[in-house]
Structure 1
Amino acid sequence: MPTHQDEKAYYYILHVITGKEEQVCTKIQNCLCNQSFTPFTFKKNVSFKRGKEISEVTRIIFPGYVFIKSCIAEAAFLIIIMDFVRKTNDIFKLLNYGSYEKIAVNETEINFLLDLCNDNYCIEYSKGLIEGDRVKVIEGPLKGQESRILKINKQKKNAVITVFLVNEVRTITIGLDYITKAN
């Protein structure tokens, strides 16, 4: 699990051109070669069946968004990042809570996502059972988060959950494996 409680860290979100997330992360690392910035994208493991073969790939959970972990507070971060945003064509804007006075993601919102992830900001599969019309997650990042599950697709082995991010309710699909009926 990412160490998000060791030091005071701020998290910021850039809205970028979909498909350019990794390129923007690389540009941030190269241009702002400073240990105060750690750009990343939240990812998930997804399995799909093609013919008789099952493949597993990693996909971005929030296409079009790059997250930045930094120890720099909002005012100083804004000055540094806005200069970078103006020079880069791949970035639309820096997300905020209505004004540029509040640009860091709320701790409760980001901590929920970080708690779901491993050290590489990737959400692994959860394992669960269906008991009647209820879901019980027995292992994985969704354990104890059953109330956030909106829908389950047994064939695709995934669950749709709600996430709060920058004062918006968003839905994301993550892996929920080995769903079986409990007797």
Structure 2
Amino acid sequence: MVIDKRSSTGNEWYVIQVPAGKEVALCETIRRAVGPDVLRECFTPRFATERKVRGAWEQAESLLLPGYIIAVTREPVALYERLREVREFTKLLRMGGSFCPLAEDDRAWMAMFTNEGDRVIPMSMGVMEGDRVVVFRGPLKGREACIVSVNRRKSLAFIELDMCGRRVTTRIGLGIVRKSQCQGEAKTT
């Protein structure tokens, strides 16, 4: 097994594949099994959005990466070895023979909009200009190129992230408003 030399420079965000629907429970199990000497943080990132319930919009949260957990550590080999103690399926993702952290730009983007202990990415707001989305507020501002498609009815944008050499499509909250609704806001942001 090859040790990833980048891990010795600081805490990296490694991706653990787990059964979908068990992410939250397995975060706690992994924290206990791995311990604070190896694991700085373990979380399943979420995103804020809105859902229409009985005709009214309500705030909601959903998993950003269903079936995946992020573990923050300097020691991916120790993390891998201690994950063997977890009885549920857990797989620390690798590329080739080495463990690979989440891509730096995706990690930095997620870290910019969340805090340790509260990994919920806020909802973005934008407008449609023809077939193009222009985001004027939120984490997708300036990252419109990563938007693959938009579901306006569900306030969702489908985006692509790099995870260990693979392009993964996921969803994130994006409200699309009429241009007249955002004129004042677009000028202030």
Can you give the 5+ residue segments of structure 1 that lack an aligned partner in the other structure?
A: 1-6
**Residue 114 of structure 2 corresponds to which residue in structure 1?**
118
Cα shift at 1:142: 0.6
Residue 59 of structure 2 aligns with an amino acid whose one-letter code is E
Residue 118 of structure 1 aligns with an amino acid whose one-letter code is T
Mark the CA change 1:126 to 1:20 in structure 2 (over 3 Å): closer, same or farther: same
2:126–2:175 contact (8 Å) kept in structure 1: yes
Question: 2:160 matched to 1:162?
Answer: yes
Q: Secondary structure at the match of 1:29?
A: helix
Mark the CA change 1:66 to 1:143 in structure 2 (over 3 Å): closer, same or farther: same
Q: Secondary structure at the match of 1:108?
A: helix
Cα shift at 1:137: 0.8
Per-residue CA shift, 1:52-82, capped at 9, x if unaligned? 2333221111111111112x24xxx31x223
Aligned equivalent of 1:52, options 38, 52, 55 = 55
**Residue 151 of structure 2 corresponds to which residue in structure 1?**
153
Q: Identity rate of aligned residues, in percent?
A: 26
Aligned equivalent of 2:177, options 166, 176, 179 = 179
2:127–2:177 contact (8 Å) kept in structure 1: yes
**Residue 25 of structure 2 corresponds to which residue in structure 1?**
23
Aligned equivalent of 1:88, options 61, 86, 89 = 86
2:38–2:79 contact (8 Å) kept in structure 1: no
2:128–2:176 contact (8 Å) kept in structure 1: no
**Residue 132 of structure 2 corresponds to which residue in structure 1?**
134
C-alpha separation in 2, matches of 1:156 and 1:109: 24
1:149–1:161 contact (8 Å) kept in structure 2: yes
Cα shift at 1:151: 1.4
More helix by share: 2
Q: Secondary structure at the match of 1:44?
A: strand
Mark the CA change 1:81 to 1:26 in structure 2 (over 3 Å): closer, same or farther: same
Cα shift at 1:23: 1.6
Residue 86 of structure 2 aligns with an amino acid whose one-letter code is T
Can you give the 5+ residue segments of structure 2 that lack an aligned partner in the other structure?
A: 1-8, 184-189
The number of residues matched between the two structures is: 170
Q: Secondary structure at the match of 2:109?
A: helix
C-alpha separation in 1, matches of 2:131 and 2:122: 24
Q: Secondary structure at the match of 1:90?
A: coil
Mark the CA change 1:127 to 1:63 in structure 2 (over 3 Å): closer, same or farther: same
Per mean C-alpha deviation after superposition, the further-off stretch among 102-111 and 146-155 is: 102-111
Mark the CA change 1:51 to 1:160 in structure 2 (over 3 Å): closer, same or farther: same
The two structures have a TM-score, normalised by structure 1, of: 0.81
The two structures have a TM-score, normalised by structure 2, of: 0.79
Residue 48 of structure 1 aligns with an amino acid whose one-letter code is R
2:102–2:162 contact (8 Å) kept in structure 1: no
